[in-house]
Structure 1
Amino acid sequence: AGLERMLSVLQGVDSVWETDEFVELLAAASRLTGVAHGADPRTDVSLRILADHARSTTFLISDGVFPSNEARGYVLRRILRRAVRHAFLLGVDEPVMAGMVDAVVEVMGPDYPELVRDHAYVRDVVAREELRFRETLRTGQNILDQHLARLEAGEALPGEIAFQLHDTYGFPLELTAEIAAERGVAVDTEGFAAAMAAQQERAKAARRVATGADEGPWAELLDEFGETDFIGRDEVSGTGRVLWVGEAGVVLDRTPFYAESGGQVGDTGVIRTDTGEVRVVDTRYAAPGLHLHVVEPIEGSIEVGQLAVATIDAERRAAIRRNHTATHILHWALREVLGDHVKQQGSYVGPDRLRFDFSHFEALTPDQIEAVEDLANREILDNAPVRHFETTMERARELGAIAFFGDKYGDIVRVLEAGRHSVELCGGTHVRALGDIGLLHIVSEGSIGSNIRRVEAVTGLESLAVLRRAEGLVARAAEAVGVPPDELVEGIEKRLAEAKAVRAELEQLKRQLAAAQAPRLAAEAVDGVVVARVDELDRDGLRELAVSVRDQPGVRAVVLGAALEGGGVALVSAVTPDSGLDAGELIAEAKKTVGGGGRPAPDLAVAGGRDPERLDEALDQARAAAGLTR
């Protein structure tokens, strides 16, 4: 029957909306929106959606779900965005969901202490998601309104339009359908699905072209010989039989070469037979389970059926191992510092660096980056052993292994225990002990999408290289400033202060020189109006000179222009109170000519522009505006 329906009976009310919990949440929704519950059936629906969805959103985020475009995160995003849209329908321009979270925590926190614990975090996530979606909502709804207005009676909204809103503007199909339904308009969902399928097929075709997946008899090879036997977890060299040779590469029945997957790049190295040798520049999956060695032109010949010795670049693989295991330690450290909402969203593991994408709602502070680095490196220095083994999915769950929601796993999975804290499913290659990773150093952190952050890091010898480059830059900078490296900051500050003092002195001299020009420029006045080009000054100096010229006897208006040293144009117009002229009007056309603008003012107007080549033309326009002819 449902808990809330049972509660309605126990409390003697006719609806779940009249139970004590929802009465308080609806009151909060009314307070935040300024719309009374019970005044209008249509607004009641929106208020109830706000109350219900705020409760769902609060619990989901507290349980570790994060707004995203996949799996549970997408369900949460849809719930949250539907609530925001109904606040929008109620005419509320200001964010309301953070306030609704407060109400949920106040009502339900005593019985669910985790809500109180996570209150600030949930509030922050909801507030950020609402702000972003309100921008999407305004843009998408305006475009949708335009298309709906063009439809004839009974005509459905074309699926291509719905897909464009989804693909270009991030406007969900469900929201498009809901808005259209409110206007009595259907959405061509089949057309939407067709447009989506076409886009996916274009993407697949592009991937096939990039990987060469359309070439070669992969299905036949798999049917006859089965999947490639990968021996590269324990060996860097091994013997295999050549199954296929073509322009796309070479296929062996067994190989130590790791095929690119799970973010880890493919191995490189050499394949040799009695009659030829070839350099492997990449290793990919030609088809699931079938390793394709992408090769340079063959020296000699390699024939199907020959035995071949396949040897990977062991030094490169060792660097890849370090970086791959480091991503797992980094994941653990990020979750420790930022919270359990952090989930891996993608990665790149190469020999030179690692990249790790994860769910988080704001930029990491320098202190947080430092804390993650410290935690990860302490774990690495502990030098705990790394275990990489196959087990059942059930046993992996018992061990607490982190899996990616939505990914498909078989009954047998590969688990990585990286030290004492990190346990995840992973099929890549890894070090034997954490100390093998060496120093882990984060080199950058930034956003790559809504609620998705990216860190890049280096390990081992690359960390040493980064340190040496940094030391080299410090040494060169110290030499340029003329101080020891340890005194670089103080030396730079001293030089900057000296440069600032020199610039100030130079500007003062320029202004004194400009002031001395005022009488000369005033002497050139025609009918009390001065229009001149003065290129030696910056914008502030030009303004001061214009005021100085205006204040000279016999001058009632002045317009000065300058081509600025750093590029661009400055125009200044100044008039006396009894001139009968408007400073803004004098340069109204001139500022357009030089490609700029500025706020008009009747007594003193300043404008900027981008086109110094048309400055003389602009000054002629100012003369005409003042009633002068050249």
Structure 2
Amino acid sequence: MKKYGLNELRKMYLEFFESKNHLKMNSFPLVPKNDKSLLLINAGMTPLKPYFTGQEVPPSKRVTTCQKCIRTGDIENVGKTQRHGTFFEMLGNFSFGDYFKEEAIEWAWEFVTKVLELPEDKLYVSIYLEDDEAEKIWHEKIGLPKDRIIRLGKEDNFWEHGTGPCGPCSEIHYDRGVEHGCGSPDCKVGCDCDRFMEFWNLVFTQFEKTEDGQYVPLDFPNIDTGMGLERLALLMQEVDSIFDIDTIQALLQKVCDMANVKYKEDPQNDISIRLITDHIRSVSFMISDGILPSNEGRGYVLRRLLRRAARHGKLLGIEGKFLAKLCETVIEVSKEAYPELEEKKDYITKIITVEEDRFNETIDQGLGILKTYIDELEKEGNKKLSGEKAFKLYDTYGFPIDLTKEILEESNLLVDEDGFNEEMDKQKTRAREARAESNYMGAEETVYNKLDASLESKFVGYDNIKYSSMVKVLTNEKEIINVLKEGTKGTIFVEETPFYATSGGQMADIGYITTKTGKFEVEDVVKLMGNKIGHVGVVVEGKIEVNQEAELIVDEINRRATAKNHSATHLLQKALRNVLGNHVEQAGSHVTHDKLRFDFTHFQPLTDDEIRRVEEEVNSKIMEGLNIITKEMSIEEAKKLGAMALFGEKYGSTVRVVNMDDYSVELCGGTHISNTSEAGTFKIVSETGVAAGVRRIEALTSNNAINYYKNLEALIKDFSRLLKAEPSMLIKKTEQLMEDNKKVKQENEKLKAKLSKGAADDLLNNVVDIDGVKLLAANIEDQDMNGLRNLGDSLKQKLGEGVIVLTTSKGSKVNLVVMATDEAIKKGAHAGNLIREVAGVVGGGGGGRPNMAQAGGKNPEKIEEALEKAKDVLKTQIK
């Protein structure tokens, strides 16, 4: 059997189905679009759901892809076995109402036996037990003996996902030989061992499952096949596991070289080697699709994978940071099929390096926390760490449970694993609840789901702000209708529109749509699946009817102001890269008529000097008056020009490039001014952090920036009047006032301290004896908590031995302090326990150590009652 490399097999598969008139589509990003049911793309068909459900017209009725996928359901087993992994590539060929079972089966067999030349006598197929049609094709058309066609039940050979499209499937299996088997005489297709390996699943989507459980035949059945590329490579290269195939082996060997260990010599080391190898593949691809480490959602998945890999590097004895070096190998072996890896190389390595640094810091913190926990257990005489604390170490500090167990075992301690698992289940429940309940598509059902898939709208607004077109469809908020009456909110769909729909961070145009019978105010414009553009708003005059000729008029002032801000974001991104480095990538934007917001990847706040340099560079390019040329071209031409693309966006073969005299070149579908000078001026008004590794700049252009300066000027004038100083003297005058204020405060503190000292002497007259312990309980006027503590310290020195209870109030707030001397504590006094009961009288709570405690309350009218309570409580404490 010829041994093909993984990259060769991918190419062979896609070229084979291209020869069968399939459109080859590039892999979709790992971040799902319009699908709230998933964090990450986990199968080849997942991004194609809209084509299967008929919500969107496919670019071809026959499609083939190699889709990058991530599944983390078995993450705890990754490394421990040779079969589990989180990242994989899935080969697929799809038919959307075109060919069906016969062609799908015949082409699968042709590829397997003629192209790959797998021996026919080692191939078996499984089918759904009721699928006679599939058996007939396999036996009569293909010539496969019936004893190599195995019927299995619904669990194995029927594909369905709640309600919606579903159907039987047929899987192709390869007999790897008895040496891979379980030894059982009953070992056959369907056995859990590694002998009969399923490697290609052909799904025949021929039914629609209804809410009441009925299976209704589809008018146009579909084909959805999936074959794991790594699993196919394993078979073709006749190796034991996916970790032994050529591309993954190159990465695995790099791990071994870094750790100075050999694979398959030490089972414990092998776990770490496999885990790092798998996780760094996932991490590299996730970051290349714009996912950033965070504490929730897909960002949490990324952080978890990254930190697990870093921690296993430590177990292997790898010194220092190493993951960024490994990702270079991932990029090298995969860049031909996934050029985005090479394009984003600097960015990927930077993110990994920063996150690995953070992990090294947190793991050190975690070790310190765990040591504290161990000390506490030993003091308490407890032998078991609570599941809650173990989970905190895992969740906050990246400590896997086995690491916690290891360290605890060294001190002859255990961990409450049941409690840990309980906390883990709670987190999984929270994660599930965070993903919205959804239908088959994973998107919310709206009136727009009822629109005909063939309905399309064309945007003609780059060159027009007025345009005539035909009203094709009207909806209100619940249904498709023929007439929208005055005062009714709804959506208008036309054939061609000058209105820009919200996308790429740019907010929609506003304006009016008029017909001979009515006027509609456009408040928003939405871009829907299948190239549909909906104008959302309300009828302000008369009525709008289907099939009327309509005049669409965009608000020119709003459009122009928005375009100025949009062009400024392009200048801003380029300036940020020039000032901060090429790791800067757009992480989001929000462009309206009045301001722009730009999110970008960077790992620390910008300094005042960096902000100044960025602002100056943008303004210099505005003053240079760069021509802004927009042009459509092939994606290959755009890349040659060095055009920057947005993360997570899937671009077609033709793209729109916005070129600002070669200073900034970006792929962009938004509206722009024709020369940078039209932006007038540019002012950054804020720079903040919005997530780990993501910063946000808000800025203004043109009249909005001028108004900002005007308001600033008015503010300076108001301060000048208030401080009775010229603008040029404001800083000096303010510094002088601050110095004067500081002196007044110091004098005030001295006076208060003097008064407190005198008050302390007077208060000693209130001391009472409680069973041989002195108690001083008093209410003090006009003190804060700090003053109360200071007074307490002063009284303790004067009192010698005993207990002090002090209260003060301001408005409805009560503060309490209790102090106890060593001698009083020996006799049973406990400040923390005493204050807890006393604070309860004034409607509060608190606690503290035996010698000092503080609390708050909200019922000042009960202070006297609380002070009396102190006597009773102390009496019960004295032994």
Q: TM-score, normalised by structure 2?
A: 0.54
Higher-helix-fraction structure = 1
CA 40–570 in structure 1, closer or farther in 2 if over 3 Å, else same: farther
Match of 1:607 among 854, 863, 878: 854
CA–CA distance in structure 2, aligned partners of residues 250 and 573 of structure 1 = 73
Give how far 1:616 is off.
4.1
Structure 1: which 5+ residue stretches go unaligned?
6-15, 30-36, 106-114, 151-156, 170-195
Residues 508-542 of structure 1, C-alpha deviations (whole Å, 9 max, x = no match): 22222222223332223223532111132233433
Structure 2 residue 788 is the aligned partner of structure 1 residue 542: yes
**Partner of residue 443, structure 2:** 204
> Which residue type is aligned with residue 562 of structure 1?
T
> Which residue type is aligned with residue 414 of structure 1?
R
CA 370–56 in structure 1, closer or farther in 2 if over 3 Å, else same: farther
8 A Cα contact 2:347 2:582, kept in partner: no
8 A Cα contact 2:563 2:671, kept in partner: yes
Structure 2 residue 519 is the aligned partner of structure 1 residue 277: yes
Structure 2 residue 448 is the aligned partner of structure 1 residue 213: yes
Count matched residues. 550
CA–CA distance in structure 2, aligned partners of residues 460 and 167 of structure 1 = 46
CA 197–481 in structure 1, closer or farther in 2 if over 3 Å, else same: closer
Residues 418-472 of structure 1, C-alpha deviations (whole Å, 9 max, x = no match): 3322111111111101111222222223333343333222211111222222333
CA–CA distance in structure 2, aligned partners of residues 287 and 63 of structure 1 = 25
CA–CA distance in structure 2, aligned partners of residues 550 and 450 of structure 1 = 48
8 A Cα contact 1:383 1:419, kept in partner: no
Root-mean-square deviation (CA, aligned residues, Å) is 4.8
Structure 2 residue 872 is the aligned partner of structure 1 residue 627: no
Map 1:36-47 onto structure 2 (within 5 A).
Answer: 41-45=266-270
CA–CA distance in structure 2, aligned partners of residues 428 and 315 of structure 1 = 16
CA–CA distance in structure 1, aligned partners of residues 849 and 269 of structure 2 = 49
CA–CA distance in structure 1, aligned partners of residues 323 and 473 of structure 2 = 61
> Which residue type is aligned with residue 401 of structure 1?
A
Structure 2 residue 722 is the aligned partner of structure 1 residue 480: yes
8 A Cα contact 2:508 2:525, kept in partner: yes
**Partner of residue 126, structure 1:** 356
CA–CA distance in structure 1, aligned partners of residues 703 and 319 of structure 2 = 48
Structure 2 residue 710 is the aligned partner of structure 1 residue 464: no
**Partner of residue 241, structure 1:** 470
> Which residue type is aligned with residue 609 of structure 1?
G
CA–CA distance in structure 2, aligned partners of residues 384 and 395 of structure 1 = 22
Match of 1:571 among 794, 801, 817: 817
Map 1:41-440 onto structure 2 (within 5 A).
Answer: 41-45=266-270, 48=273, 67=292, 80-86=306-312, 90=315, 98-100=320-322, 123-128=353-358, 137-138=394-395, 146=418, 164=429, 198-199=437-438, 204-205=443-444, 209=446, 213-214=448-449, 217-219=451-453, 222=455, 227-245=456-474, 246=484, 247-404=489-646, 406-440=648-682
CA 538–545 in structure 1, closer or farther in 2 if over 3 Å, else same: same
8 A Cα contact 2:509 2:559, kept in partner: yes
Match of 1:560 among 777, 783, 806: 806
CA–CA distance in structure 1, aligned partners of residues 353 and 529 of structure 2 = 46
8 A Cα contact 2:816 2:856, kept in partner: yes
> Which residue type is aligned with residue 624 of structure 1?
D
Stretch deviating more after TM superposition (581-590 or 264-273): 581-590
CA 332–532 in structure 1, closer or farther in 2 if over 3 Å, else same: same
Structure 2: which 5+ residue stretches go unaligned?
6-236, 238-248, 328-344, 367-391, 402-414, 475-483
Give how far 1:585 is off.
1.4
Secondary structure of the structure 2 residue equivalent to 1:249: strand
Stretch deviating more after TM superposition (446-455 or 386-395): 446-455
8 A Cα contact 1:396 1:415, kept in partner: yes
> Which residue type is aligned with residue 258 of structure 2?
L
CA–CA distance in structure 1, aligned partners of residues 280 and 543 of structure 2 = 69
Give how far 1:366 is off.
3.1
Secondary structure of the structure 2 residue equivalent to 1:45: helix
CA 431–581 in structure 1, closer or farther in 2 if over 3 Å, else same: same
Q: TM-score, normalised by structure 1?
A: 0.72
Give how far 1:58 is off.
11
Secondary structure of the structure 1 residue equivalent to 2:870: helix
Give how far 1:372 is off.
2.2
Stretch deviating more after TM superposition (444-453 or 559-568): 559-568
Residues 32-76 of structure 1, C-alpha deviations (whole Å, 9 max, x = no match): xxxxx9999344235545886899899999999985599x99998
CA 24–57 in structure 1, closer or farther in 2 if over 3 Å, else same: farther
> Which residue type is aligned with residue 236 of structure 1?
I
Secondary structure of the structure 1 residue equivalent to 2:875: coil
Residues 159-210 of structure 1, C-alpha deviations (whole Å, 9 max, x = no match): x9795375589xxxxxxxxxxxxxxxxxxxxxxxxxx6945769621xx54x
8 A Cα contact 1:391 1:415, kept in partner: yes
> Which residue type is aligned with residue 319 of structure 1?
A
CA–CA distance in structure 2, aligned partners of residues 397 and 455 of structure 1 = 27
8 A Cα contact 2:777 2:867, kept in partner: yes
CA 214–475 in structure 1, closer or farther in 2 if over 3 Å, else same: farther
Match of 2:835 among 590, 608, 616: 590
Residues 291-339 of structure 1, C-alpha deviations (whole Å, 9 max, x = no match): 3222322312334443332211101000111111112222222222232
CA 615–43 in structure 1, closer or farther in 2 if over 3 Å, else same: farther
Comparing both chains, which one has the higher relative contact order based on Cα–Cα distances under 8 Å and sequence gaps of 6 or more? 2
**Partner of residue 56, structure 2:** none
